[in-house]
Structure 1
């Protein structure tokens, strides 16, 4: 088995991989991060002691494996009532506010579904009754502005449309359908307040914010003897061309630079940028809280309220750059079903791509990349759980690969020359 392990990428995946590698017995561990601090895309910018978050991010409640791992290394978390809601359009085109449900509510009584004809997001949407499918199609085209036949069906999860509430359906019949048909259970949901569910009632956030969390992780890694290299730019070509026989590599960074050195065509990615705006606000409802917009109107697809630096802040995540004269009013309208919002000063804005919506070509390309890496390096090169959206799924996948690498033979030399 390898004696050394190198983790490329110091985001949450890389940090958790380092902790797990140490638990499994590695002691020569290096984590390389291209930015000046650990945290990756989850590390917010701090302005005057306040975190300018790019979106809604938090951890699960009691038993969350990520919280348990980070807590074991000195991080502290505070629990809060997990509050959320959504805004959809009713049959009369008026806004419908749904509390305790973060997905779309469609004024539809029909619940009959079919199996998707393929793996695309368009195929998944077509499995619903026509009234529901039409609403989902309009929302996705507004949100993504792309051909839904090219998008992988699992993109429904980050789009928050993986489950739909057919608001006009008989709840008893819907509950029975979900209990007897796994596919119906996958596609439909009943809001927590109407179903009596007690799961997901609480969640956690790191005490002091995410910057403090990642700084705590940095200190804990150093105390374990992990070498943390910041501002470290790793050449994929050099790394793949000359692997060390006694080194295991975890690539927890963006995988796209790996394709060309391995002679693989880089897949077509969903090139979509989103704009975020952080405001100081006053709110007479609960906090933290988030509301999803499924009306396919306006610019904001989600508004998330949180506290930082002793003040309530709101981040509006937008499908495009917003008209700042209209955005505060749009935010007030989205939150109006849940509390009164007074929008104050704009504190921060950012526009950047998000690589959380996979195309079918990207999924196919990532599978080919995994096969090529496994063929050349066996378990000595661990991909960083690029496909899953959920944090827990990423952790589980990487941990399983680390265990396999720890139990396997020494790293293998490349079986073929790298592409020029």
Structure 2
């Protein structure tokens, strides 16, 4: 039986250990450079309340990731998945319930063909009434032209699907049903066409801290050798892989470039600010609202419950505190059900994010994969470096492990 060595104890690495065990592996090592597991999924805790950066949740009952975690003792609670977006309109912001993407005054249910692999090429598929405000939003959010980003950056930017508010609903619905290109680029608020796939979602009972603690306990119980404060030096790790080993690199791939003699892509220069407040909120929770107006500081607010309190996390494209930030938060929520009173600031963080891949980054990650697969073959499993959605990461790692271990069918995650 092959030894599975997993580098990176974030959520991808934790799931990879469970996946490898389910596929029959019993000699599994997990290496994490920090003194804790969980990576970015493990929030800071302030007086028993979790300071969650970003809007992370799981699928309803039957979701493969949730099911795998439940098999190892995790407990989840379902909730009504409520969200909305704020988009620019001729007379001010336009609020759209049940839709997390931009709602813009386009009138055509037709698209140009996709010609190229950058985000600018993707936006050029739309008519100008959609493409221009989308390009403005990208520059506001990331600080660069859409042509510098890979087309896949549409997903973390939440502009992968656009609702053309001036197009006939019947024409949009038909285009989405009949044309895969249109289905990938157009969206419709779920309440307007009986879309129910994401009506229910779930969160771990006790929060993400309890989930990671449960995962650690479960990993130990199935015999996974957890090594914290373990700095896996790429050159050494790669040199130690034998035909009886499978290496899963679930950590950042950046250190691997030097180890194999390739030029690394530049790290993202844009930093984002995150603020968490205790709030009084009479609307639904959890709830998030995304800002596509390309104005103000805040691109998303997320309201959730933790430690017996309601908290609001504001994610911002630049530092903005005090009255400016409060006004931006209220602007995002004023058009939705619920009244908001903002209390004290509990948490503040300013850091870059490895989310918005450039064309250069994607090309170089592809080159890195080719070199490592050529050197190690199926014994090397990348940690789904390019993917944004956790379901996509889960499926990609599952496919790599199955190939390395020679096992059956792939379980897809939503």
TM interval, shorter chain, is over 0.9
Number of the residue aligned with 1:414: none
**TM-superposed deviation, 1:358:** 0.8
SS in 2 for 1:342: strand
Q: Which structure 2 residues correspond to residues 254-293 of structure 1 after superposition, within 5 A?
A: 254-293=252-291
8 Å CA contact retained: 1:111, 1:129: no
Number of the residue aligned with 1:120: 118
SS in 1 for 2:181: helix
Structure 1 unaligned spans of 5+: 409-420
Number of the residue aligned with 2:300: 302
Greater shift, 135-144 or 234-243, is seen at 234-243
**TM-superposed deviation, 1:114:** 0.3
Q: Residue 377 in 1 paired to residue 362 in 2?
A: no
SS in 2 for 1:97: strand
**TM-superposed deviation, 1:172:** 1.3
Q: C-alpha separation between the residues in 1 aligned to 2:57 and 2:269?
A: 26
SS in 1 for 2:296: coil
Q: C-alpha separation between the residues in 2 aligned to 1:171 and 1:17?
A: 42
Aligned length: 406
Q: Which structure 2 residues correspond to residues 154-303 of structure 1 after superposition, within 5 A?
A: 154-303=152-301
8 Å CA contact retained: 2:268, 2:352: no
Q: C-alpha separation between the residues in 2 aligned to 1:324 and 1:361?
A: 38
**TM-superposed deviation, 1:60:** 1.2
**TM-superposed deviation, 1:245:** 4.4
8 Å CA contact retained: 1:269, 1:361: no
Q: Which structure 2 residues correspond to residues 2-401 of structure 1 after superposition, within 5 A?
A: 3-92=2-91, 94-338=92-336, 339-401=338-400
With structure 1 as the length reference, what TM-score do the two structures score? 0.94
Q: C-alpha separation between the residues in 2 aligned to 1:108 and 1:315?
A: 31
**TM-superposed deviation, 1:201:** 0.5
SS in 2 for 1:25: coil
Q: C-alpha separation between the residues in 2 aligned to 1:345 and 1:282?
A: 11
8 Å CA contact retained: 2:135, 2:145: no
**TM-superposed deviation, 1:325:** 2.6
Number of the residue aligned with 2:410: none
Q: Deviations over 1:327-370 (max 9, x none)?
A: 11211121111121110000000011111111111111111111
Q: Deviations over 1:67-93 (max 9, x none)?
A: 00000000000000000000011133x
**TM-superposed deviation, 1:269:** 4.1
8 Å CA contact retained: 2:3, 2:27: yes
8 Å CA contact retained: 1:274, 1:353: yes
Number of the residue aligned with 1:412: none
Q: C-alpha separation between the residues in 2 aligned to 1:5 and 1:196?
A: 44
Q: Deviations over 1:295-350 (max 9, x none)?
A: 00101100000000000000000111113331112111211111211100000000
8 Å CA contact retained: 2:378, 2:403: yes
RMSD (CA atoms): 1.2
Q: C-alpha separation between the residues in 1 aligned to 2:76 and 2:87?
A: 33
Residues 1:195 and 1:377: Cα distance change in structure 2 (over 3 Å): same
**TM-superposed deviation, 1:272:** 1.8
Greater shift, 267-276 or 71-80, is seen at 267-276
**TM-superposed deviation, 1:263:** 0.8
Q: C-alpha separation between the residues in 2 aligned to 1:79 and 1:136?
A: 33
Which structure 1 residue ranges, 4+ long, deviate > 4 Å from structure 2? none
